[in-house]
Amino acid sequence: MEMIPGQSFLLGKIDEVARWAQSSSVWPLTMGLACCAIEMMTATAPEYDIARFGSEVFRASPRQADLMIVSGRVSQKMGPIIKRLYDQMADPKWVISMGACASSGGVFDNYAIVQGVDTIVPVDVYVPGCPPTPDGLLYAVNLIQQQIRQGGRGGILARA
């Protein structure tokens, strides 16, 4: 645990507990767009089971979700909606860009696809693959959990 000079020991400890609690129950938003969404659903299914990492439920309402997994290709019509959903999520929030299409446009370098969802929302973890195996998505969630525990956004002193 890192002590920031001037920060009280008690608040630091509470912050550590808060980060541990946040990282152990990251609830994703149901943001399934295309093929990656099916692999995201498979990650909740028995063989991969994202619930054992704390993502017990996928919340449909952005107000109740911590993590937005952008799974699939983002079309021109869908871009503003993703931005709106991201804005509606409460702090602290994280974003995983799942798959090649969400990370960079993927196979589709054309007029219809936004070349990377990081042009619209800030992304914390990128997952390569077309689609990535559910193992890849689980590793991404683990990385988010590490990011939460070791610093970055999160904790009771969290800001956007």
Residues making contact with another protein (CB under 8 A): 30-35, 37-39, 41-42, 45-47, 58, 60, 72-73, 75-78, 81, 85, 107-113, 115, 130-131, 133
Interacting residues of 77 by C-beta distance below 8 A, sequence separation 6+: none
Q: Which of 145, 159, 147, 138 is nearest to 26 (CA)?
A: 145
> Residue 151 CB, nearest distance to another protein (Å)?
30
Q: Report the SS3 class of residue 26.
A: coil
> Residue 108 CB, nearest distance to another protein (Å)?
5
Residues 27, 141: contact at Cβ < 8 Å? no
Query: What residue type is 36 in one-letter code?
Result: C
CA 95, 100, 106, 107 torsion: positive or negative? negative
Q: Which of 118, 145, 154, 112 is nearest to 23 (CA)?
A: 145
Question: Using alpha carbons only, what angle is made at residue 151 by residues 145 and 153, rounded to the nearest 5 degrees?
Answer: 80
